[in-house]
Structure 1
Amino acid sequence: MPQSGSLLSNRGRALIAAVVACASLVGCASTTDVVTTDKPGTYTVAASATGGKMAWARAHEHAIGEARDYCERRGMQSSVTTETVSGVAMMTAHASSVNFECHPKF
């Protein structure tokens, strides 16, 4: 009969292995800093994501979220003017580059 300590240890290892496996399927995403463009009042931010066929959606969400947060920190709301996406193959980097403006909240 196994000792309860070793049983918990095996369960703990199995849980850790499951978490690592799920994390590897989800992939990772990163976002650049927001920078101003040559057009006054317009900013740009880019995001990339890897891991699975929905990586483009994570890249899009990260870029849109960073634009929203940038404007909200200034008491304003974001308005996306253009978005460029790249990457279609599974397990490659997918990217989204968003140009946006900040406008007063109504």
Structure 2
Amino acid sequence: MVIHDSDRMPERRDAFFPLAGRHALSNRVRGLIAAVIACASLVGCASTGDVVATDKPGIYTVEASATGGRMAWARAHDHAMNEARDYCERRGMQSSITTETVSGVQMMSEHASSVNFECHPKF
């Protein structure tokens, strides 16, 4: 006698697997999470270097870079500007940008911003 799987399985699948609906929802949630991660990878990431003193007294520089997407240059610029501002604010002062150098123009290349700045007393 040969027993087939169809002979063992109940007619209704949810009678045998009562949690099938919950697992289906979990798969949908996993799919949504994967889609969010994929979108985030298209946006890219940004990083900021340390603030360093230049050879000119009272002038500092900070570099930031960003990759991915059309707005990478803006993320690099924002990170550099924010780091300059934060550096001065931690000293009870305000930042004043003297120069900014940017690089990277192609969409999927690394974009960079290098900001030179001074810290001045707050008024």
User: Normalising by structure 1, what TM-score?
Assistant: 0.94
Partner residue of 1:71? 88
Query: Which of 70, 91, 103 does residue 86 from structure 1 map onto?
Result: 103
User: Normalising by structure 2, what TM-score?
Assistant: 0.82
Counterpart CA distance in 1 for 2:80 and 2:39 is 23
Partner residue of 2:79? 62
Q: CA deviation at 1:7?
A: 2.2
Query: Does residue 25 in structure 1 map to residue 25 in structure 2?
Result: no
Percent of aligned pairs with the same residue?
Answer: 79
Return 5+ residue gaps in structure 1 as ranges.
none
Helix, strand or coil at the partner of 2:28: helix
15-24 or 2-11, which deviates more: 2-11
More strand by share: 1
Asked if 2 retains the 8 angstrom alpha-carbon contact of 1:53 and 1:88, the reply is no
Find the structure with the greater CA-based Rg. Answer: 2
Counterpart CA distance in 2 for 1:41 and 1:32 is 19
Tell me how large the CA RMSD over aligned residues is. Answer: 1.2
12-21 or 66-75, which deviates more: 12-21
